[in-house]
Structure 1
Amino acid sequence: MATLLFRSWQSLKSPTSLRLGGRRLSHHGTCPLPSRCSYPAACSSSSSPAAIGLEAETLLGFISGKMKATEVAHLVWKSILQKGDCAIDATCGNGHDSLALLRMIADDSGHGFVYAFDIQNSAIESTRSLLEESTDLDLKNYINLSLLCHSKIEDVVPKDAVIRLMAFNLGYLPGGDKGIITIAETTLPALQAASRVVASGGLISILVYVGHPGGRDELEAVQTFASNLPTESWSCCKLERLNRPAAPILVLLFKK
């Protein structure tokens, strides 16, 4: 999966809608990551048959419609995160992303931490319940649940925290009030904060739901933000189903 990640990055300024098959790092050039490289498979001179098989399976799964954008996102997260890392769930909703992140980074020694945010108390409680039902971890050692807008993450996350990944699910709370949605006016400050707190070699993952009023406007704001990030330090792409206009769109922003 690691090689899939690095072959996929292309600028959102490109007219291509399905941005897959970008630069082939395993064949050309040197690793753009800092000396602490977490992605040996991506930087090796050749890819193993197993890695190539997983890469092709993931691509085909999404292209054929058998794999959801959320599943693709989680596979990409796995290629970024290691045990003991710190991550942020900017919109925890019903807790499924927080749980996925926790499973990727929590280790037996008490390392690994997730900062989770939502503006709805029902979302915080749903996340808490799901985590308590799904894991035996002492949650207070591994996650902080904040009833707070994602634009306020820097009020909670310590300045010295090394954040490897920040995940957004933009839209409304599944099963909740569809009148309460994320909006560009708070999402853009949250993305600006994310660009500051995410460490080099880290990722901002944004799943944008567009099938509700305001969804397309928020997507446009996200794309404009991503397109204006400097190419020297960011690489940005999106996955979009062109003949399913209401399907969620996955935007990935990699910090070099």
Structure 2
Amino acid sequence: MAAATSLRLYPPNSNPLIFFSRKMVQFRGNSFFSTLRSSSSRFPTSVHPNPIRKPKPKSNGAVSVHPNPKPKPSGIVSVRPIPNGNLEPSGLVSIASSIPPPPPLPGVEGVMMEYICGQRRATLVAHSVWKHIVREGDTVIDATCGNGHDTLALLKMIADDTRKGRVYAMDVQKVALENTSLLLDHSVNPDEKELVELFSMCHTQMGDVVPDGVKVRLVAFNLGYLPGGDKKMITRSDTTLLAIEAAQKILMPGGLISIVAYVGHLGGREEFEKIEAFTSKLPFESWNCCKLQMLNRPLAPVLVFLFKR
């Protein structure tokens, strides 16, 4: 009878489990053993094929832990989301919603953008431009005071402690002067109201109310009819052109003639066209003339600015 023999595959006096575990780690490139390595419980922590890195403390003492990217079956590596980003259902990171909206533009730039977007009236655009021209203590003229909104806006721009500024406001309609006075009573104190002088007269005579030697910083025209009044009482192209000529004579260099022309009522477009023809012929050495007009709103008011060099 043949004698039995035994085959030993591990060194004597060694633990067979640890011996074969180390051998499998040596063959970690083999596809068969790679399946065995997927379970970390089969290996001691010291020989784990993908050890976890210890977090490193930051300068402020805080600890930031980011696990190592692990390859996915598709070969795509997942990346941790960036700060302030949003993880979309697709797994991609979107940062569009994390970008704050641009701040509103200051001053006249913001008003112009709102006007372009249809969110501001032409008169408010004019007021915004005035603020870049008029200074405290200036002399200004409201050539068509109407219900007083332009007069009030000008008063707030020129009023100061010196009380040297003046607003000369005029209109041919008595009701317009009364409405302007009433608005001022409810909007400013008596001392401020004294800086406004109201005249019942045609704006062609504006030069008569300005004291000798005083130059005017701004002359404002808001043409058409009185809102809430008689729509048959309107400004006329012939007197408007004469008033613009009168304003040119008393305006200081660096001053502005501001015109809001309304073209939706009878006679309004003719008035605007004559103003446009007149101002387009002014010498560019002395005047900068421009207009703001909505192209697809034919009845919208038109802004005209005449800046004196």
TM-score (norm 2): 0.65
Matches within 5 A, 1:19-34: none
2:250 alignment partner, one of 173, 197, 220: 197
1:170-229 deviation digits (Å, cap 9, x = unpaired)? 100000000000001110110000111110000000000111000000001111121111
> Do the aligned partners of residues 161 and 65 (structure 1) sit closer, same or farther apart at CA in structure 2, a change above 3 Å counting?
same
- Could you say which structure has the larger radius of gyration? 2
Please give the root-mean-square deviation of Cα atoms over the aligned residues, in Å: 1.8
Q: Structure 1 residue 174 and structure 2 residue 227: aligned?
A: yes
Identity %: 54
How many equivalent pairs are there?
208
Q: Structure 1 residue 128 and structure 2 residue 181: aligned?
A: yes
Q: Output the amino acid matched with 2:207.
A: E
SS of 2:260's partner is strand
2:162 alignment partner, one of 99, 106, 109: 109
Contact preservation (8 Å) 2:145, 2:169 = yes
Greater than 6 Å deviation, 4+ residue runs: none
Contact preservation (8 Å) 1:110, 1:141 = no
Query: Could you tell me which residue of structure 2 aligns to residue 61 of structure 1?
Result: 114
Structure with higher helix content: 1
Contact preservation (8 Å) 2:104, 2:110 = no
Q: Structure 1 residue 248 and structure 2 residue 301: aligned?
A: yes
1:80 alignment partner, one of 133, 145, 150: 133
**Alpha-carbon deviation of 1:52?**
6.7
**Alpha-carbon deviation of 1:141?**
3.4
Hey, what's the Cα distance between the residues in 2 that align with 1:238 and 1:204? 12
> Do the aligned partners of residues 220 and 124 (structure 1) sit closer, same or farther apart at CA in structure 2, a change above 3 Å counting?
same
SS of 1:190's partner is helix
1:122-148 deviation digits (Å, cap 9, x = unpaired)? 000100110111000425631110000
SS of 2:132's partner is helix
**Alpha-carbon deviation of 1:233?**
0.5
1:63-95 deviation digits (Å, cap 9, x = unpaired)? 110111111100100000111011000000000
Contact preservation (8 Å) 1:184, 1:218 = yes
Hey, what's the Cα distance between the residues in 2 that align with 1:210 and 1:167? 18
1:207 alignment partner, one of 247, 260, 266: 260
Hey, what's the Cα distance between the residues in 2 that align with 1:106 and 1:54? 20
**Alpha-carbon deviation of 1:60?**
1.7
Q: Which runs of 5+ in 1 are unaligned?
A: 1-49
Q: Output the amino acid matched with 2:213.
A: D
Matches within 5 A, 1:230-249: 230-249=283-302
Hey, what's the Cα distance between the residues in 1 that align with 2:194 and 2:109? 37
